[in-house]
Chains A and B, each alone.
Chain A
Amino acid sequence: MWSFPLFPDQASTLASKVDALYFFLIAISIFFSILIAVLVVGLAIKYRRRSDDEKPPAIHGSLLLELTWTLIPAGIVLVIFVWSAEVYFSAVRVPKNAIEVQAVGKRWMWKIQHMTGKREINELHVPVGVPVKVTLTSEDVIHSFFIPAFRVKKDAVPGRYNTMWFEATKTGKYHLFCAEYCGTKHSGMIGTVYVMEPDAYQAWLGGEQAGASLAGAGEKLFTDLACITCHRGDSGARGPDLAGLFGKPVKLASGETVTADETYLRESIVQPAAKIVEGYQPIMPTFQGLLSEEQLLQLVAYIQGMKAEVKDEAAAPAAGAAAPSTGAR
């Protein structure tokens, strides 16, 4: 207990990038703090009042100095800005080969679904050396999915999907925190991330009798809820064809065009009336309250994987990552 670290574990590809920027900023901060401290204390001692009759000169200022201490900090912050933007982009741009995980925040736990259908609570198992994309949402209030050792964090916002990704570089156990205040047991909404060797991970994933894959579960819902009756995919169908929809622009009756990302798909199911596709009647019933966030995610995973023509094929685990919108909406 009485020994304590000063820096967190570095356990993801992002961690060293973030830390490099952090150390750069610390260096700058130390430099300026010492500069100012020496300047102020030094001058205040050097020019301390020795007699009450002292008559300091009237120095009005100097344009040259003002420019110096405007432009030098401006230059420094420009460097920080460019560097930090670069780090930020590597934090939000999901690699194409990422495997997918879905996380739903609910007061006060994290519910995780893997693409194979395997589920866990307050635990997240991931393989080392493989990019993992997490799609986040919440059943109630805003939470925030925070893994300090990976230097990643993203809010889980009810009613929309946010995404983040990481690639673990070191096997081990790491903290998973909820970082956005969410009520009574906010500080109890913590879990553990297990980073495993790929073999061990595969064994873990397959070790238990997993149900249907996520997309498979979504397909079943699609039939059970009779979505299929309207979204049959032929010309006579009452609803639009959903195959190949994901990631494409959709023309709305209002004249706007939106991109069919995860959040749009979710909204189309929960609040179909919010955005009506051009050329269709607002006849789709709302499924609000009928589906859990996990089920919605399953449906979304299924629709995401629906290819034009070959509709029935269930999505392969990684297929959904084909065109994710990197959380940058």
Chain B
Amino acid sequence: MQTEVVTTKSEGAVPGNGLDRENYINAKHGIWSWLLTTDHKRIAILYLITITLMFFLGGAFAAGVRLELMTPKGDLVDSDAYNKLFTMHGIVMVFFFLIPSIPAVLGNFLIPIMIGAKDLAFPKINLLSWYIYMAGAAFFMVATLFGGVETGWTFYTPYSTAFSHTNVILAAVGIFISGFSSILTGLNFIVTIHKMRAPGLTWFRMPLFVWAHYATSLIQILGTPVVAVTILMVAVERLLKLGLFDPALGGDPILFQHLFWFYSHPAVYIMILPGMGVMSELITAFTRKRVFGYEFIAISSLAIAVVGFLVWGHHMFVSGQSTYAGMVFSALSFLVAIPSAVKVFNWSATLYKGSVSWESPMMYAIGFIGLFTIGGLTGLFLAAMGLDIHMHDTYFVVAHFHYIMVGGAIFAYLGGIHFWWPKITGRMYPEYWARVAAVLVFAGFNLTFFPQFVVGYLGMPRRYHAYPDEFQVLNVMSTAGASLLGIAYLIPMLYLTWSLFAGKKAPANPWGAKGLEWTIQSPPTTFNFDHQPVVTEEAYAYAESHDTSHDPAAPPAQAHA
């Protein structure tokens, strides 16, 4: 480990930069060296490219939706086309972007390094996960090319099984297949975290990013099979007219909702927990401080994962579910909000007496705290049964989950991408543009989604192609915000791509951050570490160590060869 020098802001040869040495990128050449790689870092890059494409595809669908909603009349596209737009936006963003995003890109890249391992426990299965994801995406793309699907991402029965004339089966099979990718990734993470931690890396010394992924993986393994089978049941009922969900055939449409939300509520935590993990890394790195209440943040991830499985009925308060079932689901939903609040308070408290730097990843982190807080608080509105009667299936719900999934998860994802970009690519991006983009994303986001709370409470139902005139002003605001947001998302695309060719070379530890990943060269070698690292301290031990930021000779604090 002594060979890998830690430093920051150095001039000249950039110690710790591996671009001119052997690294995982230049270790092998040719397209097959990528498509058949078992290196977790290269697989992360494969995911990065594919989910970025998916993100912009989903974004294009969203643009269509927002443009249509500028005017009360359904005048831009016809109703069926509009219904396809919001359905495919939802499916792409949830199943093909957000669920894989942080785990499959950042988790894949970082978990082995953070725990001092050479790779994941099952490198070949890791590659298989990507191919399965691609196969699922391919099915979905075929469904899109043959005219798309318009059931809503929720596939409610009996609409999806007996009435929709679109490519429900193809899309369902695509989602079914991609679910296995998620299951296998979760399995891989769990085994890796259990079995491959470096000597000295006890559970409570692990970075919180790893804890969050552990909790996420549990949900992925336990929940995903349920939704996979449920979606498959929809396909089977369509094909064979089995009476599972269609009351005309003796089935129960509400059963579908139970099965669907049994997975899909926990799935919202698959989307946000990894983001919370990223947050803990960002906050500590940019305050150079141990996280406040480490154990509470770690355990709250598990609490969320477990209790998150017991609240699905809050999506069904007006379905005719029994009043008493509704009360239990409501109470548990309030309960699950508490660990989220605990995290927010702990992150905030970490800033106290810190050395806070406002670099772009930290700007995303600060944005996350604000937006996630609003998303979580509005979750309380919806968990309150008496209020949810009015708010259910209105734009209020749409705003709520976008505050969490876009304001929370995507902010964390972007913050994480910026934070680890130097490690992943060996290059720095232009900080000025990164800050501009972060501010624009924040502004565009709020302008897009805040008006939707208001229009939702006014009573505008979601999934409406046309709407009464009095809702127009708020919808125009929302569309204006979406345009800004769309541009703001393109800026990082441009400068990050640019940085690959012309960015400054990154040192091993550009931020002066703690964690094993910052002790190795950027970009890392194929096997990450030259020697097995040994961990002698807890995570985020900024105060305990020698000055890591300015003494290039200082040994990496967490790792001693």
Contacts and interface: CB of A to CB of B under 8 A. Distances in A.
A203 interface: no
A29 B341 CA distance: 12
B470 to A, nearest CB: 6
Contacts of A90: 386
A39 interface: yes
Contacts of A53: 547, 549-550
B320 interface: yes
B342 A70 contact: yes
Given A157-B253, A187-B79, A21 B318 contact: no
A31 to B, nearest CB: 10
A242 to B, nearest CB: 23
Nearest to B246: A158
A239 B342 CA distance: 61
Contact of A40 (B369, B383, B390, B469): B369
Contacts of B471: 4
A254 B318 CA distance: 30
B473 A87 contact: no
B349 to A, nearest CB: 7
Interface in A35-66: 36-37, 39-41, 43-45, 47-49, 52-62, 65-66
Interface in A60-110: 60-62, 65-66, 69-70, 73-74, 77-78, 80-81, 83-92, 107
Interface in B345-377: 345-349, 351-358, 362, 366, 369-370, 373-374, 377
A175 B351 CA distance: 49
26 contacts: A4-B470, A25-B380, A33-B370, A37-B370, A44-B351, A47-B287, A49-B355, A49-B356, A52-B9, A56-B355, A58-B290, A69-B341, A77-B335, A84-B330, A84-B384, A87-B385, A88-B317, A146-B461, A149-B459, A151-B390, A153-B390, A160-B320, A184-B79, A185-B79, A186-B79, A187-B74
Contact of B156 (A47, A142, A146): A142
Contacts of A328: 322-324
Interface of A: 1-8, 17-18, 21-22, 25, 28-29, 32-33, 36-37, 39-41, 43-45, 47-49, 52-62, 65-66, 69-70, 73-74, 77-78, 80-81, 83-92, 107, 140-142, 144, 146, 148-149, 151-155, 157-160, 162, 175, 177-188, 190, 271, 274, 288, 326-329
B318 A25 contact: no
A320 B334 CA distance: 37
Contacts, number: 309
A81 B374 contact: no
A34 to B, nearest CB: 10
Contact of A52 (B358, B459, B512): B512
B289 interface: yes
Tell which of B74, B292, B389, B394 has the most Cβ of chain A within 10 Å: B389
B541 A58 contact: yes
Interface residues of B, number: 106
Contacts of A87: 384-387
Interface stretch (B36-44, B115-123, B157-165, B220-228): B157-165
Contact of A56 (B324, B366, B369, B542): B542
Contact of B387 (A18, A59, A60, A184): A18
Contacts of B351: 39-40, 43-44, 47
A186 B83 contact: yes
B266 interface: no
B2 interface: no
Given A154-B318, A181-B159, A47 B354 contact: yes
B390 A152 contact: yes
Contacts of A45: 356
Interface string B520-548: 00000000000000000000011110010
A21 B370 contact: no
B322 A329 contact: yes
Contacts of A28: 377, 380
A168 B357 CA distance: 57
Given A1-B472, A60-B294, A158 B380 contact: no
B384 A58 contact: no
Nearest to B467: A187
A36 B344 contact: yes
A92 B325 CA distance: 14
A54 B288 contact: yes
B381 interface: yes
Contacts of B292: 59-61
B282 interface: no
B385 A84 contact: yes
B337 A77 contact: yes
Interface string B265-295: 0000000000000000000000111101111
B247 interface: yes
B64 interface: no
Given A17-B386, A141-B163, A186 B465 contact: yes
Given A59-B289, A70-B342, A154 B357 contact: no
B459 A146 contact: yes
A167 B389 CA distance: 16
A56 B287 contact: yes
Contacts of A271: 250
B331 interface: yes
Which 4 A-B residue pairs are closest in the complex by CB-CB distance?
Answer: A148-B459, A87-B386, A159-B247, A84-B384
B241 to A, nearest CB: 15
A55 to B, nearest CB: 6
B464 interface: yes
Contact of B393 (A58, A179, A190): A179
Contacts of B89: none
A300 to B, nearest CB: 16
Contacts of B472: 1, 4
Tell which of B162, B319, B462, B472 has the most Cβ of chain A within 10 Å: B319
Contact of B318 (A48, A66, A141, A155): A155
Contacts of B374: 29, 33
B334 A77 contact: yes
Contacts of B289: 56-59
Contact of B163 (A1, A140, A152): A140
Contacts of A85: 327, 330, 385-386
A5 B295 CA distance: 46
A6 B313 CA distance: 30
A36 B374 CA distance: 10
Given A1-B469, A33-B370, A57-B543, A180 B156 contact: yes
B468 A148 contact: no
A182 B473 contact: no
Interface string B143-155: 0000000101000
Tell which of A43, A92, A175, A187 has the most Cβ of chain B within 10 Å: A187
Nearest to A289: B248
Nearest to B466: A187
Contact of A157 (B254, B287, B293, B295): B254
A81 B550 contact: no
Contacts of A182: 159
B315 to A, nearest CB: 12
A202 B159 CA distance: 38
A178 to B, nearest CB: 7
A247 B457 CA distance: 36
